[in-house]
Each structure stands twice: as C-alpha cells, then as structure tokens.
Amino acid sequence: MKNSRRHFLQQIAASAATLPFLSAYDAFGNSNFSASNLHPIIPQGPTLRVALMGLGGYASRVAEAMQSCKRAKITGLISGTPAKLDDWGARFAVPEKSRYNYENFDAIKDNPDIDAVYVITPNALHHDQAIRVAKAGKHVICEKPMALNAREGQEMVDACSRAGVKLLVGYRMHFEPKTVEVVRMRAAGEFGKIKFFQGLSGFRIGDPSQWRLNKQLAGGGAMMDIGIYAINGARYMVGEEPIWVTAQETKTDPVKFKEGVDETILFQLGFPSGAVASCLSTYNMNNLDRFFLNGEKGFAELQPSTGYGPIKGRTNNGELTQPHVTHQTLQMDRMAGIILDGDTPLIPVDGQEGLKDLKIIDAIYRACATGTKEELNLG
Ligand code: NDP
C-alpha cells in the first residue's frame, strides 16, 4: 500500500515536471505547424518593430536574417560606436531619430516606432541594459546567457513584470524544425520512458584578448557561452527539470583561461523520473556539438545539434528530414507572434526559462568548487 502510494506520487511528480512542455505543445503544435512535416508556417499578423542593441558579430547575423522575416523588422539601433550607427542606419534604413548610444537609449520610451529591444552585448551588460529597456516600456529580447547568475536573472524577470513588458531569451534552437520534431516525438511518448541524455557542447576558442575570456564581461568561460546549450538542451530533450547536479572542472591552460574562466567542465544532471544526463562544456576541443536522447522504446541523435545549421539528426525511425530555415529568421518571426499575439511556443523562451538555466549554471559552479552533489529546486 505504502509502496503503491509512493509510486503514484512519483508518477505525479514526473508528469508535473513534463507538463509545461506537453501543454505548450498542444497549444502550439496544433495551431502553428502543419501536421505532415512540422514545416513552420508563420501566421499573418502585425510586425514586431525591433531595435538592435550591440552591433557586433551576432547582431550582424541577426540583422541579415531579419531581412527575410515576415513579421519582424529593424526599426532602431543602439551602439557605442558612432560609425556603426551611420553604417547600419544606412544599410537597414533606420532613420537618425531611431539611433541611440548606451548613454541616451532610455529616450527610446518616447519612440513610437520601436516595440522591443534585442540586447546582443557581452553577457555582463545584459542585466542593466534589459532593466533600462523594461523601464522605458519596451519588450526585451535578450541574448543567452540572460545574465551572469540567477540573482541578476530574477531581477530582470521582476523588472519586466513590474513594467508590464515581455522578457524573451534568444534561444533560437527552440524554433528549429528538427529539434522541435524530436521534442514533439518525446512528448508524444514515441521514445518511451526517457532514461538518458548526452550533451556535448564546445569549440576551441581563439583570440585570448576577446571579452569571452574576460571574467568581468563574460561572467565565466565556456559554460556561460556554449555549455549553456547542453544545459538547456538536456531540459527540453528530456522534458523535465533537473533536481540535482554534479560537476568536475579541468583546466589545461591557466594562462588563457584565468581564475573564474572555465575551460572544460563535465557535469551530470538527475531528473525526477530517474533519467540522467551527462554533459561536456569546453573551450578547448572542436567537433563537439552533439545531443543524444535515449528512451525505452527509441532514441534521437542530433549532430550538429545547436550550430547555425543545417542541423542533422536521426531517430530510431530514420533520418530527420524537416527543412532548414535560417534560425534567426524563424526565431524573430516566432517572437513577433509571442509578443504581439500571445503565442505559446512548444519550448518556452521566456525569462523564467532563462532563469532556470542560470540557476543550473550557479549550481554547476558550486558543485565544481565543493565537489559535492548540489540539489536544484527549479519550481
Ligand atoms: P561581439 O563581441 O561580436 O559583439 C558585442 C557588441 O557589443 C560589440 O560589437 C559592441 O557593439 C557591444 N559592446 C558594448 N560594450 C562592449 C564591451 N565592453 N566590450 C565589447 N563589446 C561591447 O559579441 P557577440 O555578438 O558574439 O555576442 C554578443 C552576445 O550574443 C553574447 O551574450 C553572446 O553570448 C550572444 N551570442 C549568441 C549567439 C546565439 O547563437 N544565440 C551566438 C553568438 C553570440 P557596439 O560597438 O555597437 O557598441
């Protein structure tokens, strides 16, 4: 009797953990994807008018991709480099009145041509910039990692909630068709009970003087930048929130990877159902972009799993054939739907989602320091 009650409670806990993914799928999958191949269809609707903040490498990619958007458009620019404001302003037809620098961008509140600001600056700047955008009454789209730690992330969530604006994180994989198909199959039970996930995320980083290797600007090392894909992927592939983490750090080059800048971290996550994940985050090895999900009835493998694509993958049913769509084009069209129409994506991209990853990162760093298992309570 006692045992069956415990089993029942465990079942409830496990299904509660998967619920956000399943319920979101029902709302999203039926309305926004064709049943046959999950080819993304962008529903008609108003255009999201976006100001890009931080005109660097990734913003260039986003800006180019947005030229093919059906529902999102660049209508503002924020930069610390005047020449970029001139150049990008001319290239993307953004008038001078909608170009700002980091000192004066609070004035965006009086600009009726801007609905949202996409923060694409170094990690350490996200927190203050996102809060200023929220105070200006504009929606925030913020690059990953959303902030340096969970405390900062919570402050951003609270500020956006107080201001009545949405906070979204640039998790482009959450809209990627092959990823979405694997998540759909898992949520539909096609792999059976999930037992194991492996996430390998890394590359060999170059220029030692870049901000990504500066603790002050990056908040850490590979974990903040690329390891976060394995964390986030573990959550959406398994479909549960982890309840514990263990982690081990190794460093072979303490000159390049200074104190507080992690080079390589191995970490393990445990989930309420008993599923486990084994992950690697590194700045010192190439050819690491692989997700593997194993269940009692089947498996999914994505390799590459989080690069700019095309993503490739297969399941026990064969090769995944969903079409490649430029990730940032799809992301921005979908985010227009989320912000302007209240759409619910299959895999959440809101501030709570970003905050959960930050709580896990905090716990991974703690586990590296203490060598002990860290409990997680992601709510
Ligand atoms: P870059 O260094 O290429 O660009 C960052 C830009 O931020 C700079 O060009 C600069 O633009 C602005 N900036 C403001 N203050 C500083 C400062 N103190 N030091 C350096 N730059 C500053 O970085 P990325 O574009 O690669 O990365 C930006 C963010 O995007 C990061 O959070 C990163 O994690 C994320 N990212 C996400 C990716 C994804 O796939 N989702 C991929 C790559 C990055 P300006 O001169 O206009 O002020």
Check if 123 has its Cβ closer than 6 Å to any atom of ligand 1: yes
* Range of the structural domain that residue 219 is part of: 188-321+349-375
> Would you say residue 11 lies in a domain?
yes
CATH at 317? 3.30.360.10
- Report which ligand 1 atom has the smallest distance to the Cα of 224: 34
Calpha distance 279→125 (Å, rounded): 27
One-letter amino acid for residue 242 of the chain: P
Q: Looking at the structure, tell me whether residues 211 and 287 fall in a common domain.
A: yes
Could you say which of 146, 172, 198 is where a domain stops? Answer: 172
Annotated catalytic residues are 144, 229
- Using CB atoms within 10 Å of the CB of residue 36, give its burial: 0 to 12 exposed, 13 to 18 middle, 19+ buried: exposed
137 plus 214 within the same structural domain:
no
- Strand partners for 250: 264
Question: Which residue, by CA, sits nearest to atom 41 of ligand 1?
Answer: 170
Is residue 332 a contact partner of residue 72, using CB atoms and an 8 Å limit?
yes
Shared domain check, 288 and 164: no
Ligand 1 center to 293 CA (angstroms): 32
Instruction: State whether the beta carbon of 308 lies less than 6 angstroms from ligand 1.
Output: no
Q: Do 230 and 116 reside in the same domain of the chain?
A: no
Q: What is the largest CA-CA distance in the chain?
A: 73
- Identify whether 326 is part of a domain: no
Final residue belonging to a domain, choices 126, 145, 172? 172
User: Does 344 map to a domain?
Assistant: no
CA distance 86 to 91: 9
Ramachandran area for residue 123 (φ above 0: left; ψ -120 to 50: alpha; else beta): alpha
Confirm or reject: Cβ of 244 under 6 Å from ligand 1: no
Decide if pLDDT at 12 tops 60.
Answer: no
Distance from the alpha carbon of residue 52 to the mean position of ligand 1, in angstroms = 11
224 and 110 within one domain: no
pLDDT at 165 (0 to 100): 98
Per-residue pLDDT at 2 exceeds 60: no
Q: What is the pLDDT of residues 143-192, one digit of tens each?
A: 999 999 999 999 999 999 999 999 999 999 999 999 999 999 999 999 99
Same-domain pairing of 150 and 239: no
334 domain residue, yes or no = no
Residue 181 lies in a domain: no
Residue 341 falls inside a structural domain = no
The span from the CA of 28 to the CA of 38, in Å, is 11
Assess if residue 136 is contained within a domain: yes
Please check whether residue 240 lies inside any domain of the structure.
yes
pTM: predicted TM-score of the whole model, two decimal places? 0.92
Instruction: Write down the pLDDT at residue 250.
Output: 98
Claim to verify: residue 112 and residue 194 sit in the same structural domain: no
**What are the pLDDT digits (tens) for 14-46?**
443 444 444 333 323 333 343 333 445 677 899
Q: Which tokens in the block code for residue 250?
A: 């190794």
Four-residue CA torsion sign, 265, 168, 311, 178: positive
Question: Is the same domain home to 236 and 154?
Answer: no
Same domain? 132 vs 11: yes
**Residues 162 and 203 occupy one common structural domain:** no
Residues 256 and 295 placed together within one structural domain of the fold: yes
CATH code, domain with 46: 3.40.50.720
pLDDT of residue 271: 98
Of 324, 305, 326, 325, the C-alpha closest to 314 is 305
Q: How many domains does the chain have?
A: 2
144 lines ligand 1 (CB under 6 A): yes
Q: Which residues contact 298 (CB under 8 A, 6 or more apart)?
A: 185, 190, 191, 192, 315, 316, 317
Last residue of a domain, one of 105, 137, 172: 172
- For position 29, what pLDDT does the model report? 33
Atom of ligand 1 nearest to the CA of 125: 15
Q: How far is the CA of 128 from the centre of ligand 1 (A)?
A: 15
Q: Is the CB of 84 under 6 A from ligand 1?
A: yes
Tell me the HSE value of 286 on the side-chain side, using a 13 A CA sphere: 3
pLDDT band, residue 379 (cuts 50/70/90): confident
Question: Does residue 116 sit in the same domain as residue 200?
Answer: no
Reported as a single tens digit per residue, the pLDDT across 310-350 is: 999 999 999 999 999 999 999 999 999 999 999 999 999 99
Least confident of 6-20, 239-253, 304-318: 6-20
pLDDT mean across residues, the chain: 91
